[in-house]
């Protein structure tokens, strides 16, 4: 069984790590850069972009194909012979879940609450939308944004003028109010090709400057909110007919759960499932895509926490940080084979403990140690 992964980032790396024990081999369709998984995969199809010819040749070379990101146009996938039987999630699922505007329309149609929003396709519509939503507002690129790229906070008219001056010729934005978030959650759903569902425990996430920074489980939220979040997760997975992992980011605002966005793949919020759950999100993604029985998703420990290794302002030597990281008892390292860049996700640290507080302490200490060696300080 050879599974092709479109994209070669850390999600692909962790899929490969999980798939090795299932006897799966892998090929990557990767852009020319220092992407994580290309360092550990023997078959890499290098491309300059995800056009029809390249994707078709890749699909032909693999038994099944899945994704590390959503940068392939669903129309490209639809045009590839045999894609329906080999590529998961499907083009339809990608259409519904890889574009924030389509996501919100789908949620509205399904009667699942999300923040109030208006779609804008040109500068006049954008100004009109912000006029109706009011300040502070958030404008988000409907497609292609991640880790806060494509999210613009509009505190007043000068921010709107600046955004308008930087807009490309054609765009699609959603505009919504900037909300006071009481908490952010993620619900992860594994759904197999034959429609079996398995949901992970609700995860609590903390974003810094719109980038995921910390995650923990159990969420600490009351049971009613967790049940609502899981119910929405189940309904959304059915509505978009996801195959593999579907991650759903949610806000708690005024004591109610609102859906923020979806990602039709394994997700940063679920990295702690590698150590903390019976089967990780990466293993279940592969099981679902292969239509094998899904693994149990229950926590095997009372609590777990994950802290991302985000490139700090001053360059660090991550390899030299490994020894200090490993000196922190209980801190589990995950390095992504990436060179340093400010703000870049370079890895993460997970810790398991009897309480969320203790797990967070260890994961934070491990992350700080990992990032503690300045670049060029001559260690070795
Ligand atoms: N309407 C909003 N009000 C307040 N914070 C928001 C809003 N929308 C997004 N954010 C913050 O920005 C983060 C990133 O936004 P998101 O829409 O998830 O974009 P991305 O695709 O970059 O993850 C969210 O997790 C949240 O912390
Ligand atoms: Mg997000």
pLDDT, tens digit, 9 for 90 and up, residues 208-235? 989 999 999 999 999 999 999 999 999 9
Which residue's CA is the closest to the ligand 1 atom numbered 7? 178
Strands 151-154 and 173-177 come out as unpaired
pLDDT, tens digit, 9 for 90 and up, residues 46-99? 999 999 999 999 999 999 999 999 889 999 999 999 999 999 999 999 998 889
Mean pLDDT of 26-47: 92
Asked whether the predicted pLDDT for residue 140 surpasses 60, the reply is yes
Within the chain, which residue ranges are assigned CATH 3.30.1490.20?
116-177
Within the chain, which residue ranges are assigned CATH 3.40.50.20?
2-87
For the domain spanning 183-370, the CATH number is 3.30.470.20
Which has the minimum average pLDDT: 140-154, 220-234, 329-343?
140-154
Sort 223 into a burial class: Cβ within 10 Å, 0-12 / 13-18 / 19+. exposed
Asked whether the predicted pLDDT for residue 379 surpasses 80, the reply is no
Average pLDDT taken over every residue of the chain: 96
Check pocket membership of 261 for ligand 1, CB cut-off 6 A. Answer: yes
At 378, is the pLDDT very low, low, confident or very high (cuts 50, 70, 90)? low
Which CATH architecture does the domain made up of 116-177 adopt? Answer: 2-Layer Sandwich (3.30)
Taking alpha carbons only, the member of 363, 330, 334, 360 closest to residue 347 is 334
pLDDT, tens digit, 9 for 90 and up, residues 152-198? 999 999 999 999 999 988 899 999 999 999 999 999 999 999 999 99
Within the chain, which residue ranges are assigned CATH 3.30.470.20?
183-370
Report the C-alpha gap between 66 and 181 in whole angstroms.
Answer: 33
pLDDT at residue 377, rounded to an integer = 81
Check pocket membership of 176 for ligand 1, CB cut-off 6 A. Answer: yes
Q: How far is the CA of 262 from the centre of ligand 2 (A)?
A: 8
Q: How far is the CA of 22 from the centre of ligand 1 (A)?
A: 35
Q: Say yes or no: domain 2-87 is CATH 3.40.50.20.
A: yes
At 146, is the pLDDT very low, low, confident or very high (cuts 50, 70, 90)? confident
């Amino acid at each position: 069984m050879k599974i092709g992964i479109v994209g070669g980032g850390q999600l692909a790396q962790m899929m490969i790590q999980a798939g090795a024990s299932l006897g799966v081999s892998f090929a990557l369709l990767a852009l020319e850069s220092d992407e994580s998984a290309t360092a550990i995969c023997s078959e890499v199809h290098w491309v300059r972009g995800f056009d029809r010819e390249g994707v078709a040749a890749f699909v032909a070379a693999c038994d099944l194909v899945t994704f590390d990101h959503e940068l392939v146009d669903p129309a490209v996938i639809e045009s590839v012979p045999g894609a329906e039987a080999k590529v998961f999630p499907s083009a339809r699922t990608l259409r519904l879940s890889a574009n924030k505007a389509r996501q919100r329309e789908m949620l509205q149609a399904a009667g699942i609450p999300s923040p109030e929003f208006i779609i804008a396709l040109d500068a006049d519509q954008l100004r009109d939308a912000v006029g109706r939503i009011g300040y502070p507002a958030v404008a988000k690129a409907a497609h292609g944004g991640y880790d806060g790229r494509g999210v613009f906070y509009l505190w007043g008219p000068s921010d709107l003028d600046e955004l308008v001056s930087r807009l490309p010729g054609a765009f699609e934005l959603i505009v919504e109010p900037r909300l006071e978030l009481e908490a952010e959650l993620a619900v992860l759903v594994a759904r197999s090709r034959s429609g079996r569902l398995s949901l992970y425990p609700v995860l609590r996430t903390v974003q810094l400057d719109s980038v995921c920074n910390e995650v923990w489980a159990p969420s600490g939220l009351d049971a009613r909110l967790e049940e609502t979040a899981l119910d929405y997760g189940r309904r959304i997975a059915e509505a978009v007919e996801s195959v593999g992992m579907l991650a759903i980011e949610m806000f708690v605002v005024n004591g109610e759960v609102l859906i923020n966005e979806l990602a039709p793949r394994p997700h940063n919020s679920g990295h702690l499932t590698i150590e903390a759950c019976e089967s990780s999100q990466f293993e279940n993604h592969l099981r679902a895509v292969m239509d094998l029985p899904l693994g149990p998703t229950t926590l095997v420990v009372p609590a777990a926490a994950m802290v991302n290794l985000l490139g700090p302002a001053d360059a660090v030597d991550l390899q030299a940080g490994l020894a200090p990281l490993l000196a922190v008892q209980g801190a589990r390292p995950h390095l992504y084979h990436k060179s340093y860049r400010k703000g870049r996700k370079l890895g993460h640290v997970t810790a398991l403990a009897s309480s969320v507080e203790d797990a967070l302490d260890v994961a934070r200490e491990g992350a700080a140690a990992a990032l503690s060696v300045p670049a060029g300080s001559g260690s070795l």
